[in-house]
Amino acid sequence: MRGILMLALAVLVAAETRYDGFKVLRIEPLEILDSTWLSDIESKVEFWSNVPGRPVDIMVPPELEDEIVSFLRSKKLDFSLMIGDVQAVIDGQRSTMRSRTRTQGLADFKYDQYNTYDQINQWVSDMATEHSDVVTKFTVTQSYEKRLIDGIKISTGGNNKPVIWFEGGIHAREWISPATVMLISKFLVEDLKNSDPQVVQLVNYFDFYIVPSLNVDGYAFTWSDDRLWRKTRRPNPGYGCIGTDPNRNWPYKWGGSGTSPWPCSITYHGGKALSEVEVKGVVDFLTNLSVGNEIRMFIDWHSYSQLWMAPWSFSSSEQNPVDWLDQSNLGQAAVQALEEVHGTTFVSGMSAKLLYEASGASCDWGYAVLGAKYSYVVELRDKGNYGFLLPEDQIMASGEEAYKATLAAVEYAMNN
């Protein structure tokens, strides 16, 4: 695990983890991909994207570049350079961010920029204050490092209405996720107050619960120490590695395929299901909310790969869910509406078949345990030009297209 272990140890010995000389290579899949080569290098590189039938993106440490390149050539795998210097991209983005002044209120909030944890939480409070007739603030729980995980409820009142649940930022480095979730919220509230007929109908029918940033400790850490940090920040006793993958920690099919028992792995599933207070907090919150309220839709927003995915995540060979036809139809309606905005193409389907197997994932729990008929994980922009380092000039477009997809999805869920 030399490549990944080096990254884990760097967090412990340096104020800021740097990726000088790290490259991201894009490997073109073979017609019939012999996947055994993946296991030959998985301990030396970090896989950014590994979608069946699509190019595989790997981040390579500089000291292993020659070895990895030689290996790929020996396997006759075509590859290209996706990012020539990861740190240079990070530095370029950070230089712009450091020169900014903090926003002073909702009217001054910059939706076309990435925002810190403090700015996001202030946005939650400001939304509830500015739009108190339709928006209220709620707290899911406290994180391991005692940060509040807050969200907004968008509602026109009434009791026992079906619930739409959106959560962003479960993987810390996926900055486009909280940014997009906040834009969806902004557009929804604005259209509601402007009496848009479709939105008024949807919000009269549903209550929307929206959490922009779930893995708040990890997200704060991506701003202060390691831009590519993915996991939570709870130490693992007895190991020199910190954090658990919060999207492998949910209490349904926990610990199975697509997870790791090794605490230094980026897909470490934790010592037990719900070991992470952030995940346990969401599970407890939604379990309590589901008493007397039907949770109709559950969406966990991620990046990247441009996919709209339904259960199952834990197994690609599992029989389709009993609600698969409706789940699939909603996904198709969502990606079609999304494409109509900016021409961005998403693919919908079953998570384990479109992406990879991932046991203990949120959308499986949302469907199988919580009972949300329409439970999804959505991978936002892009398909690999920038990966987790999506430029800010794509934020608004991502939010605009995701909002139109949301309206199509929620309308389908209302009618079916």
Cite the active site residues. 379
Segment (H or E) for 121: helix 117-130
Q: Judging by beta carbons within 10 Å of its beta carbon (0-12, 13-18, 19+), is residue 148 exposed, middle or buried?
A: middle
Provide the CA 209 distance to its chain's centre, in angstroms.
17
Segment (H or E) for 408: helix 395-415
DSSP assigned state of 160 = S
Segment (H or E) for 219: helix 216-224
Residues 6+ apart with CB under 8 A from 35: none
Q: How far apart are CA 102 and CA 104, in angstroms?
A: 6
Q: How far apart are CA 41 and CA 75, in angstroms?
A: 12
Sign of CA dihedral 272, 300, 28, 6: negative
Query: Are 360 and 313 a contacting pair, CB within 8 Å?
Result: no
